[in-house]
Structure 1
């Protein structure tokens, strides 16, 4: 006979959440919940994660913290514990026609999520995390900030060589910022000029570094060297990839039918 999961046990809830918070089996996506981006997943995905070898190994070694989840009813009890501890929150993914009813504006990148009044624990029901454990990177960032503040406070005690080094580093940073703003102004002037002199409607304006202000990496911001309109921008290419994926999914569904 299997042991029942202690309902609302905070230690069990935190242990399970810490183990599965970023598990690949959840296939988490980003959505907008209460005006902020957060990861959400389906209930059935969490059940699969609870029945994975990763969780089974933990459950065998520490059954007090990681209760058995070999069947649906056991997994259900564990998930109820997470809900009662408010580590996960049931939500509903809003469709375009439901956004106006909730005074929300459409977002092209992330779906809007609304808190559900009651958890149904159905396979395709959505949940968001209300738990974000601190990572090593977070602790390293705090240590770096504190060290930086202490270093600035102790600046009068620095040796002459270190002061000279900090001067050159500051000078290089100012040169970099100056070059960045110069490029931004030049690319804007070229863009406006191209709108005036380019005719025929074949282009939407000439850009140098079309990804300069896009939400991408530093190196990607300077690739390609130039482009026309939005077709060479990172966001446009990303949008096209999402559309192709959706079309591929629809095609698969049609084939199954």
Structure 2
């Protein structure tokens, strides 16, 4: 084996450049998990090796070999990955099972698995790693510009022409009407729900909801669909949960068919 294959890339910009290139690569098949009280993308080590062997990386390594070292063996891929670990761009983690959460004072999350930081990386194919790097997108910079522009516009309010002041007044009035209508609907739906528990369902938990998705984690339009529902069966969270259960069951059924 050549000496180049046994040396870690010397360019200090290499880890950051590789991370920027492969951060959202499709071959990583990343998933979201709860890591240190926040959501983070995690992946298997073998998936990263495949991303290093992808056409996108090969093209970069041919044009900029000093920044993107060529990967022709598993040993070279391992050395490159070590540079990312040493730079704290990726860190080794363990995906906890439900029976392990209590040992680490963690509570179960219905949407994402809990991830625990490991002290040492083993670099085994199925070992999990989490990204500790989130590059800024053009949208992030655009949001900063919009926020600064908005603040400056508010500061310069006394200099606005009368037509713009009148327009801002109507916009503010419309926003207040919208908020008032929203809270009114929220109060009315709660009253109807409580009455339905007493009159219709006899105290059971499947009462009548007006706009059952109003406070669900979904889009604005989806919050008002359907118009009414009973219990949690029509809520966005429940439907999403059932779809997730169905996908898991389909995977189990496929695995059984393969084994047979």
What TM-score range do you get, normalising by the shorter chain?
Answer: over 0.9
Alignment TM-score, normalising by the size of structure 1: 0.96
Determine the C-alpha separation between the residues in 2 that align with 1:70 and 1:184.
Answer: 61
Identify which of 90, 95, 98 aligns with 1:96. Answer: 98
Query: Do the aligned partners of residues 218 and 86 (structure 1) sit closer, same or farther apart at CA in structure 2, a change above 3 Å counting?
Result: same
Offset at residue 154 of structure 1 (A): 0.3
Identify which of 208, 219, 222 aligns with 1:220. Answer: 222
Query: Do the aligned partners of residues 250 and 8 (structure 1) sit closer, same or farther apart at CA in structure 2, a change above 3 Å counting?
Result: farther
SS of the equivalent of 1:10 reads coil
CA contact (8 A) 1:206 1:227 kept: yes
What is the aligned partner in structure 1 of residue 59 from structure 2?
A: 57
What is the aligned partner in structure 2 of residue 156 from structure 1?
A: 158
Offset at residue 82 of structure 1 (A): 0.4
What is the aligned partner in structure 1 of residue 256 from structure 2?
A: 254
Alignment of 1:8-87 (within 5 A): 9-87=11-89
CA contact (8 A) 2:9 2:69 kept: no
CA contact (8 A) 2:197 2:203 kept: no
Moved over 2 A (4+): 1-10, 199-203
Offset at residue 10 of structure 1 (A): 3.3
Query: Do the aligned partners of residues 60 and 165 (structure 1) sit closer, same or farther apart at CA in structure 2, a change above 3 Å counting?
Result: same
For structure 1, the 5+ residue unaligned runs are: none
Deviation sequence 1:68-119 (CA, Å, 0-9, x none): 1232111111111100111000000011111111111111111111011210
Offset at residue 55 of structure 1 (A): 0.9
Deviation sequence 1:221-242 (CA, Å, 0-9, x none): 1111111110000000000011
Cα RMSD over matched residues?
1.6
Offset at residue 202 of structure 1 (A): 8.5
For structure 2, the 5+ residue unaligned runs are: none
What is the aligned partner in structure 1 of residue 138 from structure 2?
A: 136
Offset at residue 172 of structure 1 (A): 0.6
Deviation sequence 1:43-68 (CA, Å, 0-9, x none): 11111111111111111111111111
CA contact (8 A) 2:42 2:130 kept: yes
**Does residue 119 of structure 1 match 2:121?**
yes
Equivalenced residue count is 257
What is the aligned partner in structure 1 of residue 188 from structure 2?
A: 186
Alignment TM-score, normalising by the size of structure 2: 0.95
